């Protein structure tokens, strides 16, 4: 029987893409904001388009490294790597950290809640499910927690894991194990819900959890060959999936 429901964040409960349809292009406002701040601090950055394009080139490689269990990824470390490509001396730590905050703020300003998320969390909480969240993100947990609070989502969760803070990234087992331990739930009694087949479905299944794929955008490759336990096209459909599983297992409706 399912006792806990664990969510992805970006693309599942909150959308950060703004006007951009693909990644890493959706990071454009962040690179622009960081560039403007660094330039204002007298850092010898190249013109913004070159800065942005080098960021786009580095980010997928750094992301892959982090999700493969290698070097952790934060906005601060990414910006330092971009500056190193231009042989720009690293600015003071406080300046780089503020540039990272400007980057995060630019993306978070354009964030919006995905439809029916708050209602779903309230419903699941009322039915007694434990709720968790695992977000693959180079942002600080503080930035994302502010978004969750802004959209009225934060108070429903029993535990939250933000990969850049924890140094644990999906689809690696450590991220899932951490949250399941925090919830005090066995993997077979938990379900993971997310929009990225490779991180969310593969990772959740490896951890021994059931998985629900929620393809909220076209940003990820086809899920061909990756088999979630269920696929939904609206968060409103999730309670029905859980009820169906309960019926099969011989439990009551919820």
14-15 and 230-231 strand pairing: unpaired
d(CA 56, CA 33): 15
Q: Measure the CA–CA gap between 138 and 118, rounded to whole angstroms.
A: 24
What's the pLDDT tens digit per position in 99-157?
A: 999 999 999 999 999 999 999 999 999 999 999 999 999 999 999 999 999 999 999 99
The pLDDT tens digits of the residues spanning 58-81 come to: 999 999 999 999 999 999 999 999
Query: pLDDT exceeding 70 applies to what percent of the chain?
Result: 96
In terms of phi and psi (left: phi > 0; alpha: psi -120 to 50; beta: otherwise), the region of 250 is left
Question: Residue 223: its pLDDT value, please?
Answer: 64
Give the pLDDT confidence score for residue 43 in this predicted structure.
95
Kindly report whether the global pTM for this prediction surpasses the value 0.85.
yes
In whole angstroms, give the CA distance from residue 169 to residue 161: 9
Can you give the three-state secondary structure of 125-139, one letter per residue? HHCCCEEEEEECCCC
């Amino acid at each position: 029987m399912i006792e806990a429901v664990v969510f992805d964040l970006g693309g599942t409960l909150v959308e950060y893409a703004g006007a951009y349809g693909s990644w890493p292009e959706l990071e454009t406002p962040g690179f622009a904001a960081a560039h403007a701040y660094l330039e204002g601090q007298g850092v010898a950055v190249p013109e913004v388009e070159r800065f942005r394009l080098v960021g786009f080139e580095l980010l997928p490689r750094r992301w892959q490294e982090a999700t493969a269990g290698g070097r952790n990824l934060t906005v601060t470390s990414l910006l330092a790597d971009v500056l190193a490509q231009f042989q720009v001396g690293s600015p003071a730590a406080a300046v780089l950290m503020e540039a990272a905050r400007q980057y995060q703020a630019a993306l978070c300003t354009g964030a919006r809640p995905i439809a029916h998320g708050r209602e779903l969390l309230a419903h699941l909480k009322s039915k007694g499910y434990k709720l968790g969240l695992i977000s693959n993100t180079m942002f600080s947990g503080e930035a994302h927690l502010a978004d969750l609070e802004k959209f009225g989502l934060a108070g429903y969760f029993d535990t939250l894991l933000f990969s850049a803070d924890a140094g644990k990234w999906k689809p690696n087992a450590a991220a899932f194990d951490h949250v399941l331990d925090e919830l005090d739930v066995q993997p077979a009694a938990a379900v993971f819900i997310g929009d990225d087949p490779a991180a969310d479905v593969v990772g959740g299944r490896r951890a021994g959890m059931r998985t629900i794929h929620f393809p909220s955008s076209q940003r990820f490759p086809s899920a061909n060959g990756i088999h979630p336990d269920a696929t939904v096209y609206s968060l409103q459909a999730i309670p029905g999936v859980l009820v169906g599983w309960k019926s099969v297992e011989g439990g009551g409706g919820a």
